[in-house]
Amino acid sequence: MKVYEAYELAIRLGMSKDPRPEDEVRRLLDSAREEWEKADDDSRELFDQERLWNPYQDCRFSCGEDEARDTDAECMMWGIDIGPAEVLLADRLRERGRRIDSVVAHHPTGRSRVLFPEVMSLQADMFHNEGVPINVAESIMGPRTDEALRGIMGVNHNQAVDAARLLGISLFNVHSAADNMVQDHLTNLFEQNRPRTLDDIIKALMGEPEFREAAKSNARPRIMVGKKDSRCGRIMCKMTGGTSGPKGMYEALSRAGVGTVVGMHFPESHYDVAREAHVNLVISGHMPSDSLGINLICDRWADHGIEVLPCSGFIRCSR
């Protein structure tokens, strides 16, 4: 398998676990295709052709794409956050004889970082899946998405990309596709275990190797709103959708019958709003949750003989 083929496989695995209806994902791709077909030559020159098959703006090849199509994928170095330091680390390891065919980031970098808030629309469908009317869900998400887009405008998004280009190292990232994997995995875990209390949620999470490993570094899952013996009610996992959602989601979810939200992390401003809406909040942990989704992809890569060298917060556990 070539490096670019491994990237494509990761995206398609994420698409297979997308929480949206399949026809909604297809609609995004069809819309991009229609835009491409109507574009003039000038617009086509700037058009992001990956939109024709990849529905996630926060997953992109940022450097060395052409070379990656011809390079065998034997070993990838994957980290949660990749900056110039991690790229230099990959180069240093290469100097010492370690084969690294590509560097992989989880969080968006390069061109995927500029537009990553666009994937936040996925959250509206997640809320709708829990019983929130879609018009309400989209109305709640709109201002939060705009806020995230404004917040990214001042970021120097190409630091790691420029370092990789200068050193001749290919670089890509897989964000929402991997987050979809953990979203699906934990949703199924809670459906199977049927936790009664918030403490039961913690115990279910601690049965997964990524969370046990993170606990050794004192990064355990935590109950942030509610108590150990508080009953869960209906549980919603919030693991995908770009970044944190809006505060207004808690009242809407409570009215729809959701009792507990389990997320990787929550902004400080969310806790009081969740309490007022009588919604429990459990933090699973950012690094172990991201790692779980990445591991589910890496295990499929392993089927093709691809080794993964973990770095930058990624906890590699094989299933």
pLDDT at 202 over 80: yes
Pull the structure tokens for residue 277.
């809406």
**Do 51 and 159 sit in the same domain of this protein?**
yes
**Do 112 and 151 sit in the same domain of this protein?**
yes
- CATH number for position 282: 3.40.1390
**Do 282 and 170 sit in the same domain of this protein?**
no
Let me know: does 200 contact 193? Beta carbons within 8 Å.
yes
- Stretch 215-228: mean pLDDT: 97
Local structure of 77: helix, strand or coil: strand
pLDDT for position 149: 86
- HEC letters along 235-249: EEEECCCCCCCCCCH
- Stretch 168-175: mean pLDDT: 98
Number of domains in the chain: 2
pLDDT for position 60: 97
Beta bridge partners of 238: 263
pLDDT for position 269: 94
Residue 22 covered by a domain: yes
Residue 318 covered by a domain: no
Let me know: does 308 contact 78? Beta carbons within 8 Å.
yes
The pLDDT-based confidence of 21 (bands split at 50, 70, 90) is very high
pLDDT for position 116: 80
The model's pLDDT over 36-89, given as tens digits with 9 standing for 90+, comes to: 999 999 999 999 999 999 999 999 999 999 999 999 999 999 999 999 999 999
The model's pLDDT over 133-151, given as tens digits with 9 standing for 90+, comes to: 999 999 999 999 888 888 8
The model's pLDDT over 119-137, given as tens digits with 9 standing for 90+, comes to: 889 999 999 999 999 999 9
pLDDT for position 154: 87
Residue 30 covered by a domain: yes
**Do 265 and 195 sit in the same domain of this protein?**
yes
Residue 74 covered by a domain: yes
Residue 319 covered by a domain: no
**Do 192 and 125 sit in the same domain of this protein?**
no
**Do 127 and 108 sit in the same domain of this protein?**
yes
Residue 99 covered by a domain: yes
Domain that holds residue 257: 182-288
Nearest to 55 by CA among 81, 79, 19: 19
pLDDT at 117 over 80: no
According to DSSP, the β-strands at 234-238 and 258-263 are parallel
**Do 243 and 100 sit in the same domain of this protein?**
no
pLDDT at 208 over 80: yes
Residue 9 covered by a domain: yes
Average pLDDT, the chain: 96
**Do 170 and 200 sit in the same domain of this protein?**
no
The model's pLDDT over 282-316, given as tens digits with 9 standing for 90+, comes to: 999 999 999 999 999 999 999 999 999 999 999 99
**Do 201 and 230 sit in the same domain of this protein?**
yes
